[in-house]
Amino acid sequence: MNDHAFEAYTEKDFSNGNMPTWCQGCGDFAVLKAMQRALVRLGVRPENAVLVSGIGCSGKISHYFGGYGIHTTHGRALPVAQGIAVGRPDLTVIVAGGDGDGYGIGLNHLMHAARRNVNLLYIVMDNGVYGNTKGQTSPTSPVGYRSGTTPHGAHDVPIDPLLVAWAAGASWIAQGFSGEVRMLSDLIVAGVDHPGFSLLNVLSPCVVFNREYGYDFYRHRVNHVDLPANSAADFMVIRETTGYPEGLLWCAPRAVAPSAGTENSRITPEFLRTLL
């Protein structure tokens, strides 16, 4: 919810004073900073912002957030956030997690949240590993990635979260890079402003367990997309020819999931239970 009529807030107001325990250089620092900047730009009051996080290194982001924070169980951040979003449409709801949390055990919730078009922003810090448990292969690990679970190199084709979200009906899809905080902040502002489900996949390097795919790797391979695709064919062209696209890739507004308190609302306790 935008609160431009109220007093101005600063980034410090969206920090609770806890010092992050991420490894030095972790891409998650940039995501937290970009989110704080974006909420200030949007004029959101801290008490009207809710950050729901999953499990893993990225899940700790809610520990450092100055608004309301909920740290959920593995893969279940989205159903919790959906209940908040439809039950309290006056709040700004952001979900944050990692690729293991969101594209592994939580993948089914991503697809259903996208098709429902619940009004929230889902930020996924994608580093291609399970960093919190010492770098095992994740759903987005590249073929050949060596880890404790794949000592001879990963052979499974990684998930493409952008295509999965598009196929599930996401009405807003973007990708950012932790090495560019200003761009990340711009994308978060746009994602929060979008009415409906928004997915922001962030190429967020793990500097300890996935050094091959670090900041230098992405800086030389990220390509900015000036305009989002306006058709399925254009979206496929972006995915097949751009390599690592950065920017707003898809925006197709459609009817948003109904919320409590709206006219002819069908939000009931039974409906809320279906989100779990």
Q: Which CATH class is domain 22-274?
A: alpha beta
Identify which of 42, 30, 37 has the alpha carbon closest to the alpha carbon of residue 13.
Answer: 37
pTM of the model: 0.91
pLDDT at 136 (0 to 100): 87
Q: Is the pLDDT of residue 69 over 50?
A: yes
Q: Do 164 and 111 touch, CB atoms closer than 8 A? A: yes
pLDDT at 266 (0 to 100): 52
pLDDT at 147 (0 to 100): 85
- Using CA atoms of 237, 198, 100, 23 in order, give the dihedral in degrees to the nearest 10: 100
Q: Give the residue-averaged pLDDT of 1-25.
A: 82
Q: Which amino acid is at 58?
A: S
pLDDT at 275 (0 to 100): 56
Q: Do 27 and 176 touch, CB atoms closer than 8 A? A: no
Domain ranges of the chain: 22-274
Q: Is the pLDDT of residue 5 over 50?
A: no
Per-residue confidence band for 261, with pLDDT thresholds at 50, 70 and 90: low
pLDDT at 165 (0 to 100): 97
Per-residue confidence band for 233, with pLDDT thresholds at 50, 70 and 90: very high
Burial pattern 43-64, b for ≥16 Cβ within 10 A else e, equals bbbbebbbbbbbbbbbbbbbeb
pLDDT at 264 (0 to 100): 47
Helix 107-116 vs helix 77-87: crossing angle, to nearest 10: 20
